[in-house]
Amino acid sequence: MKKIIKWVLSFSLLSNFCWAELVPLSDEQMHEQHGQALITIDQYNENGLNFVRVNTGFDVKVQLNADKVVFGEYPRAGETQSADIDFDNFALGHIENGEIIPFELNEPFFEYAYDPSSGSNDLVGLRVGFGDSRGKMSFDINSLTGNIDVLLQGAYDADTWIGTFTVEATSRANLVNANGDIDPIRATQVGVPNGSTFDAVAFGFIPISLNVNNCTVSGFGVNDNVCFPLSNYKTLDIGEKVSDTQFDPAPGLFLSFQSRDMVWGTGDPGDPATQTYQGAFFNIPNGSLTLTPEQALNGIPRAQTEFINRGVGRFTTP
């Protein structure tokens, strides 16, 4: 069972009084003080590890661009990509109708994980995260170690013994390798993993379960491929999906570094428990990105993230 100890550092704005020594204040004097917690520190243990989290109580709105973002660049057995996380033309926020629409980052925190098993608290992980976040995140993904929440849903043509007809099919996608096996480490593709099923409904009421193997779905006559390059998806909406164009802020955006596979998060509301892997890990809470067959195949175009075209891949026209 975890036990959370909270320390609070705060600033007070004094009104009508100035105190020159540390003495207790009366109830009347306390009533005149106004303040808000700036920093809180949580301590707890989970899965045999000790955690210390430094929470901040401020919100950030930003629009930024970076030529390249690389974390965890080192040789890794069995991997052909050079880094755990490798993005070109990374951007937070976007430009719409000539106006900057910033990316919202609320209540940033820093968290440290320690292993006490050796008799001393050995640092085994560092996480930089946010209470919640919302906005458009853009990039050219070369490799990703982490999570992206994707739902494939839409109308497909199914070949059956009674002919070809349109079905509405749905399935959850994960980071996979070229063979369709789940692979969240230095991934270059996203798709429906082997052994999964596409759950379809024909004529609005007949359920059909279609098997997935090697990135293909049996029974589909058109565009049966269900694995797609991550580089196809240039912009993702981060947040909790309300509609196709509206997202509420959502928890879970973080970048972490750990010396072993481990779970971050208490599992409490607003702090989902997330399995991470040795090295660098980027968790992207994009609110169940729903892709139609056409979007899955053709990708998502990049939102405009610069005002002028400098020829570096970050300018798009409406």
Predicted pLDDT at 178: 87
Predicted pLDDT at 197: 81
The pLDDT tens digits for 176-189 are 998 899 999 999 99
Locate the domains of the chain by residue range: 39-298
| Average pLDDT along the chain | 83
Q: What residues are paired with 289 via a beta bridge?
A: 150
CA–CA dist 114, 254 (Å, integer):
18
The pLDDT tens digits for 89-112 are 999 999 998 899 999 999 999 999
- Closest residue by Cα to residue 200 from 212, 190, 215: 212
| Burial class for 64, CB neighbours closer than 10 Å (0-12, 13-18, 19+) | exposed
The pLDDT-based confidence of 37 (bands split at 50, 70, 90) is: low
Whether 43 has a pLDDT exceeding 70, the answer reads yes
CA–CA dist 96, 103 (Å, integer):
13
| Burial class for 290, CB neighbours closer than 10 Å (0-12, 13-18, 19+) | middle
CA–CA dist 166, 178 (Å, integer):
27
Q: What integer is the mean pLDDT of 252-258? A: 96
Query: CA 292, 294, 296, 298 torsion: positive or negative?
Result: negative
Weakest mean pLDDT among 78-92, 106-120, 177-191, 204-218: 204-218
Record the tokens describing residue 187, joined without a space. 């991934």
Q: Are strands 235-238 and 240-241 parallel, antiparallel or unpaired?
A: unpaired
Whether 175 has a pLDDT exceeding 80, the answer reads yes
The pLDDT tens digits for 136-169 are 999 999 999 999 888 888 877 766 666 677 777 7
Q: Which residues contact 77 (CB under 8 A, 6 or more apart)?
A: none
CA–CA dist 213, 227 (Å, integer):
10
